[in-house]
Amino acid sequence: MRISLVNKLDFSHFREVAKKYSHFVVAYSGGKDSTATAIYVYKWLKEDKPNVKVTLFYNDTLSEVVPLESWVRYFMNQFLEKASKYTETEIRVAKPDITKTFFWRVYVRGYPAPTFVFRWCVDHLKLDPMLREIKQLNNAIIITGQRDEESGARAASMRKMYGSCMRTASCLGVFLATNGEIPKLAPIRFWTTRDVWNFLLEQRDFDIDPLLNLYGLDKVTLTATGGRFGCWHCTLVKIHSAVFLDKHYMYLEALRLIYKAISDVKELRVPKRGGYSTLGPLTPLGRAVIYNLVPIVEEKSKHKFYALDEAVGGATLREIFYILPEDEADRVIGQIDNTDRWVGMKRLRKIEKHLYAQVESKIIKRIEELDYVGIATVATQLLNELR
């Protein structure tokens, strides 16, 4: 039996914090929890028409799969149109600096795959862009879709931030930080996953069919075959849900696995002293494998890496890395990022026979000949042959 939440929504926590904060910043990721939270806020706006400003805030890592990115834009446009009828509303999107995107960090700086002790992607793609935007906010409170039920670790951190009870002011979800952070409100903190899905299915204000399709939700059992995907190149997950959206996305999975495998090959890393590891940046060979596979993956997966179409220095990353003459590309890159880690475009584009023959024959040519299942199956095996 489906439990109705729409007719039992409690707006008291919104009303309470609105007495002190005039700017409500709804943190939006595109997932089910943040979508439910945004709709919850909208219903309060529709009910009270409060004198507050609302910002729907999205952190675009430039590494999402295209269907999720399209859904995010679709929902944000819906929210802006509807919420603007009741209060001042805006959409704000944070993006990483171009020089901190996946392609720049791998090609130019030679960054290896992230690990749990070297999570460079979190800082560069998420935290830095978010903090840069948040610093511009005044008298604001962040509305988040965090829930205790997500995991044991999340529940513990939520208790630490918000308190452990359910009736006191702190357990309304208000986190009044004393370390300079913007305070947070977690209005669906105690909702279960079933509560979230029930609410989303019952509400009629927003078209959420694309979201349901992304999750592969069974509306009867409320079970999902997919989930929030995150960066397509994330190597901290064992299974990447995004590849199940389309069979051709298995090519992305192959590229992700190859990136991880390359990063684990000692001969494809520059040795270094000090730090958490004796293995430094990817060698020219390691970078060249990823570089040459990217356009192949784009073609075969029919998935466009939209980060390559971001512009910097008067050109897009796609133009810099794949179109401009080598000397011109090197000049542009040097002007933007004067780093001694850059190996030069020639070493990425042209496979030197004495270094790259094995890679060319065992990976690049073979990948072009395989179907998506074959690529995902042999990706790690191919890299093991290089060891």
Same domain for 124 and 173, yes or no, is yes
Within a domain: 233: no
Alpha-helical runs (H) found in 191-283: 193-202, 209-215, 250-263
**257 with 373, same domain?**
yes
- Residue 197 covered by a domain: yes
Q: Is the pLDDT of residue 341 over 90?
A: yes
pLDDT at 155: 56
Instruction: Tell me the three state secondary structure of residue 279.
Output: strand
Among 224, 259, 281, give the residue marking a domain's end: 224
Instruction: Kindly state whether residue 235 falls inside one of the protein's structural domains.
Output: no
Based on the fold, state whether residues 56 and 204 are members of the same structural domain: yes
Q: Which domain holds residue 305?
A: 241-384
pTM for the predicted model, two decimal places: 0.83
- Percent of the residues in the chain that have a pLDDT greater than 90, as a whole number: 44
Note whether 107 and 182 are same-domain residues.
Answer: yes
How many domains, in total, are found in the chain?
Answer: 2
| Mean pLDDT confidence for 160-184 | 55
Classify residue 47 by its DSSP letter.
H
Predicted pLDDT of residue 360: 53
Give the burial string for 206-231 (b: 16+ CB within 10 Å, else e): bebeebbebbebeeeeeebebbebbb
In a domain, 256, yes or no: yes
Establish if 182 belongs to a structural domain.
Answer: yes
> Are residues 54 and 184 both part of a single domain?
yes
Residue 60 lies in a domain: yes
Q: What is the pLDDT of residues 318-337, one digit of tens each?
A: 999 999 999 999 999 999 99
Q: Are residues 298 and 161 in the same domain?
A: no
Residue that finishes a domain, picked among 198, 224, 250: 224
Residue 232 in any domain: the answer is no
Report the b/e string of 118-133 with b at 16+ CB within 10 A: eeebeebbbeebbeeb
Alpha helices by DSSP H, the chain: 12-18, 32-48, 66-83, 102-107, 120-121, 128-134, 152-162, 193-202, 209-215, 250-263, 284-301, 317-322, 326-336, 345-349, 353-359, 365-369, 372-384
pLDDT in tens, 73-114: 999 999 999 999 999 999 999 999 999 999 999 999 999 998
Residue 145 lies in a domain: yes
DSSP 294-350: HHHHHHHHT---GGGG-EETTEEHHHHHHTS-HHHHHHHHHHH---TT---HHHHHS
| Per-residue confidence (pLDDT) for residue 270, from 0 to 100 | 92
Do residues 219 and 284 both lie within one domain? no
Residues with Cβ within 8 Å of 250's Cβ and at least 6 positions away in sequence, in order, are: 243, 301, 372, 373, 375, 376
Q: Are residues 14 and 155 in the same domain?
A: yes
CATH number, domain of 196, equals 3.40.50.620
Same domain? For 151 and 202 the reply is yes
pLDDT band at 178 (very low <50, low <70, confident <90, very high): very low
Q: Is the pLDDT of residue 266 over 90?
A: no
* pLDDT tens track for 208-236: 999 999 998 888 888 887 766 688 998 88
pLDDT of 169: 42
Mean of the pLDDT values across residues 56-71?
A: 93
| Residue 327 and residue 204 share a domain | no
Are residues 172 and 271 located together in one domain of the fold? no
**Res 96: pLDDT:** 94
Judgement on whether residues 144 and 261 belong to the same structural domain of the protein = no
